[in-house]
């Protein structure tokens, strides 16, 4: 009954039901800094789900404390590339 109309496959000795992924229309995330291209640096646990949500959503809005010039962020610290960011909002 659960698998009715869904793709199933026999894997590792069990029948598995394959579900389609959930895609968000909008993601609201918080980061520490962004540059002019939308590359993001996070602080503490904000990096747990922020990058995943930014990649999964059709439109990503980011709240940051600071917007720095493009190229000012250390590439080793950039967690989310700007390709996933659509809007940046600077807050105090």
Please determine, for residue 40, whether its predicted confidence score (pLDDT) is greater than 80: yes
Output 76 or 6, whichever has higher pLDDT: 76
For residue 1, what pLDDT is reported?
67
CA 61 to chain centre: 10
Tell me the two tokens of residue 21.
């992924």
For residue 3, what pLDDT is reported?
80
pLDDT in tens, 41-84: 999 998 899 999 999 999 999 999 999 999 999 999 999 999 99
Q: Which phi and psi (to 5°) does residue 48 adopt? A: -65, -55
CB 62 within 8 A of CB 29: yes
Instruction: With residue 26 as reference, give the H or E element that holds it.
Output: strand 26-35
Q: Which residues contact 72 (CB under 8 A, 6 or more apart)?
A: 35
Q: Which residues contact 51 (CB under 8 A, 6 or more apart)?
A: 40, 42, 79, 80, 84
Give residue 23's pLDDT band: very low, low, confident or very high (50, 70, 90): confident
């Amino acid at each position: 009954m659960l698998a009715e109309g869904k793709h199933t496959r026999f894997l590792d000795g069990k029948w598995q039901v394959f579900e389609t992924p959930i895609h968000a229309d909008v993601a609201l995330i918080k980061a520490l800094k962004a540059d002019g291209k939308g590359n993001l640096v996070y602080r503490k646990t904000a990096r747990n789900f922020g990058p995943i949500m930014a990649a999964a959503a059709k439109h990503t809005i980011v709240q940051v404390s600071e917007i720095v010039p493009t190229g000012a962020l250390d590439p080793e610290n950039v967690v989310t590339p700007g390709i996933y960011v659509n809007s940046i909002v600077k807050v105090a």
